[in-house]
Structure 1
């Protein structure tokens, strides 16, 4: 996928980026999961790839991103569709809660 945000983050500058091959292997491992991915790590020595993903995707959200899902206590993350931006539960497809972010736009 040419415009995959995780791949773009992991491979910013293509071949000139540090640890390019390791980043590719990490991306392959993440994208082969069928439903969910659990990343376990040592908080005292986290992988630099995981640290980058956590800072980019979980802390870089918009207004209500990171809020708690009212249906299942999961986290709400910003997503995009053909109809616009929305918040969706990170436990999708088990929880299908969404909150439209484009409704308040004029």
Structure 2
């Protein structure tokens, strides 16, 4: 069996001492994305409430309040997530709406 090379760092010979300084890297937290439902005149309000409960874990009262905000203001915040989770939520909502034949739109936007 061949001898494995010695990978330990070697100090220069003599009285010299080497100091290795570790630099701290600043790691930024991941960018967050808000998931929004957009109002339309065709998707039933009850379906919107159901979506908020099923995909965003909202209780009935919170889901109803968000649905009313969507209805009155044109859009409503469902939650804030990392990019991948936000995109998954958008895809789930759009798929559920399409399966039920509703034109409900869901988007994610980065939070600045």
Please indicate, yes or no, whether the TM-score normalized by the shorter chain is above 0.5.
no
Q: Which has the higher helix share?
A: 2
- Which structure shows the higher strand fraction? 2
Using structure 2 for the length normalisation, give the TM-score.
Answer: 0.28
Asked which structure has the greater RCO (Cα within 8 Å, sep 6+), the reply is 2
Larger Rg belongs to: 2
